[in-house]
Structure 1
Amino acid sequence: MKDRATARQASPGGENSLRQLAYSRIEELLNWGRLRPGQIISQRELVETTEMTLSAIREAIPRLEAEGLLQTLPQRGLMVPSLDVTFIREAYQMRRVIELSAIPDLIQRLDRAVIRSWLDWHTAARERLSSDETVDLQIFLRDLQVYDWHMHAAMVGAMENSLISNVYRVTAIKIRMTAQARVRVTRDNAKRVIAEHIAFLTPMLEGSADAAAEALSRHIDQSLTIALGGTVAN
């Protein structure tokens, strides 16, 4: 079967690497909404979906449970946590604490050329979205999502604290689960997100921590409002 060959080929470190690969593939399913909040799935179904071995899946599950990304239901299988208001608010509260705390380190340590590249990318994306009506919206929105994820993770990474980065990574997965289940990404929403990113990247580039924190805080507030079913002005 393909999964065993692929897994062994990609895992020269042995069982630990197999476990990590299984974890990463389940993480990807959660990130993109292929495992949905409230869904119940068996270990055998995860084997088929991830193309991993059953033993690798079983070894990855305790970590996913400890991080609150899966729950074991005796005699039923595994359940993806439901998205109640508490789940959403706690995830966004953790995001706020970590990202706002990262700003001073980011401004002090991160090469300004990196921030400039982020800003340039968003400026170009805004212009393309506004002027090119023939743009493939689905591809554009997926690219925007991936860029967003990597940029925010890199912002937190400027703290150079692996423990904080790992907590943030798990928090980000929970927020993506919320977004995939509740948020309909449209051209107007994409324009709003790009504008909010530019609003905090500009003062970051200028070295203004207070202005960057204020704009980033507003961006997180807007995202939380939408996740809870509210509406915001574009």
Structure 2
Amino acid sequence: MSTTGESSLRQLAYSRIEELLNWGRLKPGQVISQRALVETTGLTLSAIREAIPRLEAEGLLQTLPQRGLMVPSLDVTFVREAYQMRRIIELSAIPDMIQRLDRAVIANWLDWHIQARERLSGDDITDLPAFLRDLQVYDWQMHADMVDVMENSLISNVYRVTAIKIRMTAQTRVRVTRDNAKRVISEHLAFLNPLMEGSAEQAAAALSRHIDQSLTIALGGTVAN
């Protein structure tokens, strides 16, 4: 196999393990063998082994001699620090978004959220779990795209890994429901509208509140919908 082919398989293995972590199919404290990852991802043992060093370097997996791989446990202190990191990065991206982001992109975000809100308010959703999953994926991607506007690969990668770890902790505490989805959409619109209007201060205040609400939920608390 060519070097390019090996690199592609390594990236695919990393991406599939990342997805397992994102969706809580690998949970903090869980121990899993490389063979089990082969079966779960459908990839080769070689590809899994090639991806492990990167996952270890990013703190997403730990090797336990003679036992396999462990998903690290993340305590309350970590959750608070991770959200502090998230706040610093996302709020830092606001000036770049206002100055450089095509307003058509923000308009698309707004339209998507408005349509999602209308669908959630009606009774025409035939598969609510699938809709909520799509909303979750859209949420993750939009926030990542916001950070990417800064065009700083180091910041984007730190944000991506931090976001994975936040999801790892949140999946054990958060159940996405119709009401939760409505709240998230409302919070998103609260910072997207001033972002569209070029109001950095209002966008920052609304985004900060959204992050605070997310932290409260990640810590096992409740917020008003």
TM-score (norm 2): 0.96
Q: Comparing 128-137 with 30-39, which one deviates more in the overlay? A: 128-137
- Identity of counterpart residues, as a percentage? 84
Question: Aligned match of 1:104 in 91, 95, 100?
Answer: 95
d(CA) in 1 for partners of 2:126, 2:116 = 11
Alignment of 1:184-195 (within 5 A): 184-195=175-186
d(CA) in 2 for partners of 1:99, 1:135 = 34
- Residue 144 of structure 1 corresponds to which residue in structure 2? 135
Offset at residue 231 of structure 1 (A): 0.8
Question: Aligned match of 2:21 in 19, 27, 30?
Answer: 30
- Residue 63 of structure 1 corresponds to which residue in structure 2? 54
The one-letter amino acid paired with 1:48 is E
State whether residues 129 and 135 of structure 1, in contact with CA within 8 Å, keep that contact through their aligned partners in structure 2. no
Q: Confirm or deny that 1:158 pairs with 2:149.
A: yes
- Residue 21 of structure 1 corresponds to which residue in structure 2? 12
d(CA) in 2 for partners of 1:134, 1:46 = 34
Q: Deviations over 1:178-199 (max 9, x none)?
A: 2222101111111100000000
Question: Aligned match of 1:180 in 155, 171, 182?
Answer: 171
d(CA) in 2 for partners of 1:191, 1:201 = 15
Gaps of at least 5 residues in structure 1 are 1-7
Question: Aligned match of 1:219 in 196, 210, 217?
Answer: 210
Offset at residue 87 of structure 1 (A): 2.2
State whether residues 197 and 219 of structure 1, in contact with CA within 8 Å, keep that contact through their aligned partners in structure 2. yes
Stretches (4+) displaced over 6 A:
none
Please provide the CA RMSD for this pair.
1.4
Judging changes above 3 Å, is the alpha-carbon distance between structure 1 residues 210 and 135 closer, same or farther for their aligned structure 2 residues? farther
Question: How many pairs are equivalent?
Answer: 225
State whether residues 196 and 215 of structure 1, in contact with CA within 8 Å, keep that contact through their aligned partners in structure 2. yes
- SS of 2:172's equivalent in the other structure is helix
d(CA) in 1 for partners of 2:171, 2:114 = 25
Offset at residue 72 of structure 1 (A): 1.2
The one-letter amino acid paired with 2:192 is L
Q: Comparing 52-61 with 110-119, which one deviates more in the overlay? A: 52-61
- Residue 37 of structure 2 corresponds to which residue in structure 1? 46
TM-score (norm 1): 0.92
- SS of 1:78's equivalent in the other structure is strand
Q: Deviations over 1:8-47 (max 9, x none)?
A: 7xx8812222211111111111111111111100111111
Gaps of at least 5 residues in structure 2 are none
